Structure 1
Amino acid sequence: MDTKLLFQRIEEFDTITLFRHVSPDADALGSQFGLKQWIVDHYPNKQVYALGEERSTKSDAFPGSDYCDDVTLQNSLAIVLDTSTSERVDDQRFLSAKHILRVDHHINAENFGQEAIVADMFGATCEILGYLMMKEEKSLSAMCAQYLYSGLIADTLRFSIPTTAPRTLEVAAYLVGFGVDVAKANADNFSTSLRLFRFENYIRSNATYLEEGFAYMIINQEDYERFGLSFNEAKDKVFVLGGVDEFKAWAIFTQKETDDEGNRIYNGSLRSKNIQINDIAERYHGGGHRFACGVKGLHDEDIKNLIQELCERIG
């Protein structure tokens, strides 16, 4: 990995636009706002914009998005964070930027932009940024470190996923050394409201378990709306089925909409303990990490076929 590339490009441009994926999680937001804070701290005369519309994590953990006009954007360095395909960028204007650099920890599904820093064995894009800063001996403000640490623990599930390595903990220690409030980061990412607590227990109580070692839950719109949840809030609950000895893999399928014929359309989140499943997800309009990925635009028959494929893989 070229540890100097990111900083060289930042040096070269007076205007920098930062992009994330749609339905952003804490890693997308943490990497975006962490990098913005670092640039603002070290280059106060540069124009830096964190762009995007959708939001799915707790609103008080990260700032709101910025506004940037088209002309300014066209003259900028666009840094696309935590996004594996161009269609998932949450502001397609990034394509008009003067230069595009991607920083990502997903499996490389598409080459877009002029340059990329992609490391799929890292647990989070925040880990990549922290690693680059650590190797180049950069100083960080407490706010920058807080954003990066928050995204790091969110995507690694507090250092519990298979890609957690000594490097991961070294990056975490480096970030904490700049004044991270560890308790706040954990509360921001892992505490829950009463209504979410009840919804999570609803999933645990109603999930289906198959003898091959696969558990899943199909969540219809009326199910999550009954708990006062949005689609984005409901779809993030795949972690609820994790940590069970008997589950080799698990998934939730959440209804996003209904088509013109009245058929329900679902997006899904898939997880496994140590069996590769991302190649299966790619056949169902999805993809992601080896053991954690997503699918989208599924009808009932698609879900049935997907479950069969997953059971054959893990059985």
Structure 2
Amino acid sequence: MSTFDEIYKKIEEYPTIILHRHTSPDPDALGSQAGLARSLKKKFPAKKILCAGENDEGDLVWINHMDPVTKADYQGALVITTDTGNTARIANKLYDCGDFLIKIDHHPDVEPYAEMSYVDDAAPAASQIVADFLYAENLPVDKAVAYPLYAGIVGDTGRFMYPETTEHTFNVVAKLTATGINITEIARNISDVTFEQAKLQASVMEYMQVDPSGAAYAILTQKTLHKLGVNSEQASCTVSSPGRIKDVIAWNVFVEKEDGTFRVHYRSKGPVINELAAKHDGGGHALASGANAADMAEVKQIFAELVEVTKKYNEDHE
């Protein structure tokens, strides 16, 4: 693994730097990308620094928006990915058209795809790693930089409730908060949903099926989404809903996309599920991951695998 100093020296070398994050972004993907980009722009005003993606920020556009990027921009450019464990999930496939690739991430390094990387899978958020990098290298961290980084940390720690949250996490957010960012506004932006999304959250409970093992699932079809006036990206607000039920230990939320395939959300209160997600063009954390399903047959297979893992977890914890 590379050091912060090595990454900084590489950044100094390039006049153009293009930052990528993962598809279907969450606050940490957008926050780590935006925080790093904004700090580098302040430090190196003569460099061209761009945020690349697929314009799929959805309800999270308040964190950051993407820049128009063409293939020509990658000529002789440094490319940095944040919060993206594998190449299949990198938003905007031009990422490999640059001169050099750096990976900054906190997912298990199952695909070491970059020429230089800093991966800490014990960190609760990529945004925390980026903040550590900025402070270690004395790079600018003002309100504009701190705002998306704080949002990313809040998002990926589940508002500081997940077990990866440490004393160091609170030390970092204390520094970010000291810049004067409006943490109440960030919390509200992350938690607020539209009336249509609230109806969809309620419908998840109606559609949810629970196995005796404690594994559960809900399928949100395009028909349901259209009926409630919600798109596939907005449906991500439902992912945490099944976890509010005491007897649910692990769960899937399957969201049908317009092409008939499914975005698969995995969440867990104990059973490790990122290895399951990796089998289905996905990945993530031990207790929170994402994947894809081509059709209903794969949906059924995914839930069957979740049931087996949940049963094994129950046996090991009797």
- Tell me whether the two structures share a fold, i.e. TM-score over 0.5: yes
Do the aligned partners of 1:26 and 1:57 also contact (CA within 8 Å) in 2?
no
Q: Determine helix, strand or coil for the equivalent of 1:145.
A: helix
CA distance in 1, matches of 2:287, 2:65: 31
How far, CA to CA, are the matches of 2:300 and 2:93 in structure 1?
A: 33
CA distance in 1, matches of 2:144, 2:153: 14
1:289 aligns with 2:290: no
After superposition, the C-alpha distances for 1:160-188 in whole angstroms (9 at most, x for unaligned) are 12211222222111211222210111111
Provide the rounded CA distance (Å) in 1 between the counterparts of 2:70 and 2:258. 32
Q: What is the DSSP-based 3-state SS (H/G/I as helix, E as strand, rest coil) of the residue aligned with 1:231?
A: coil
Matching of residue 92 in structure 1 with residue 88 in structure 2: no
Give the distance between the partners of 1:8 and 1:236, measured in 2 at CA. Answer: 40
1:177 counterpart residue number: 178
Q: Secondary structure at the match of 1:128?
A: helix
**Are 2:120 and 1:119 equivalent residues in the alignment?**
yes
**Which residue of structure 2 aligns with residue 22 of structure 1?**
23
Moved more, 110-119 or 84-93: 84-93
Q: Deviations over 1:59-108 (max 9, x none)?
A: 55134321234333221111111111223222222211111101111111
Alpha-carbon distance in structure 1 between the residues aligned to 2:308 and 2:22: 31
* Residue matched to 1:277: 273
The code of the aligned residue for 2:231 comes to: S
- 1: CA distance between counterparts of 2:302 and 2:129? 32
Shift of 1:207: 1.4
1:19 and 1:170 mapped to 2: Cα distance? 27
Match of 1:226 in 2: 227
Specify whether residues 160 and 59 from structure 1 end up closer, same or farther in structure 2 by C-alpha distance, changes over 3 A only: closer
CA positional deviation for 1:297: 2.4
- Give the 3 Å change call, closer, same or farther, for CA 18–157 of structure 1 in structure 2: same
Decide which of 309, 312, 315 is 2:308's aligned counterpart: 312
CA contact (8 A) 2:43 2:139 kept: no
Q: Extract unaligned runs of 5+ from structure 2.
A: 312-318
**Which residue number in structure 1 is paired with residue 263 of structure 2?**
267
- Measured in 1, the distance between the counterparts of 2:250 and 2:69 equals 42
CA shift, 1:154, in A, is 1.1
Q: Which residue is 1:40 aligned to?
A: 41
Please give the per-residue CA displacement for 1:1-54, whole angstroms capped at 9, x wherever unaligned.
Answer: 723233222222221111112222221111111111101111111111111223
Q: Which residue of structure 2 lines up, in the alignment, with residue 134 of structure 1? A: 135
Q: C-alpha distance in 1, partners of 2:120/2:282? A: 19
Say if 1:134 and 1:174, in contact at 8 Å, map to a contact too.
no
C-alpha distance in structure 1 between counterparts of 2:304 and 2:61, whole Å: 40
Q: Cα distance 1:216–1:296, how it changes in 2: closer, same or farther (>3 A)?
A: same
The one-character-per-residue Cα deviations of 1:225-254 (angstroms, maximum 9, x if unpaired) are: 111111121145211222332111111011
Q: 1:60 to 1:289 in 2, by over 3 A?
A: closer
For 1:261, the equivalent position in structure 2 comes to: none
Deviation at 1:158, TM superposition (A): 0.6
- Taking a change above 3 Å as real, the CA distance of residues 187 and 16 of structure 1, as seen in their structure-2 partners, is same
Structure 1 residues 282 and 126, CA gap change in structure 2 (3 angstroms): same
* Bigger mean CA deviation after superposition, 3-12 or 29-38: 3-12
The answer for the alignment partner of 1:145 in structure 2 is 146
User: RMSD between aligned alpha carbons?
Assistant: 1.9
Matched residue, 1:253: 254
* Cα distance between partner residues in 1 of 2:69 and 2:250: 42
Q: Percent identity?
A: 27
User: Cα distance 1:61–1:114, how it changes in 2: closer, same or farther (>3 A)?
Assistant: same
- In the comparison of the two structures, how many residue pairs are matched? 310
CA distance in 2, matches of 1:304, 1:54: 31
Segments of structure 1 that go 5 or more residues without pairing to the other structure are 259-263
Secondary structure of 1:146's aligned partner = helix
- Return closer, same or farther for 1:64/1:226 CA change in 2, 3 Å cut-off: same
C-alpha contact (below 8 Å) 1:284/1:298 kept by paired residues:
no
Counterpart residue identity of residue 268, structure 2:
S
What is the 5 A alignment of 1:197-212? 197-212=198-213
Equivalent-residue separation in structure 1 for 2:119 and 2:87 (angstroms) = 14
SS of match in other structure, 2:244? coil
Provide, for residues 234-285 of structure 1, a one-character-per-residue CA deviation record: whole Å limited to 9, x for no partner: 1452112223321111110111245xxxxx5322101111221111222233
Following the alignment from structure 1 to structure 2, what is the Cα–Cα distance between the partners of residues 288 and 62?
Answer: 21
| 1:286–1:293 CA contact under 8 A, matched in 2 | yes
- Give, in whole Å, the separation in 2 of the partners of 1:212 and 1:120: 29
Q: Is the 8 A contact 2:31 2:64 kept in 1?
A: no
CA distance in 2, matches of 1:289, 1:273: 12
Preserved CA contact (<8 Å) 1:25 1:57: no
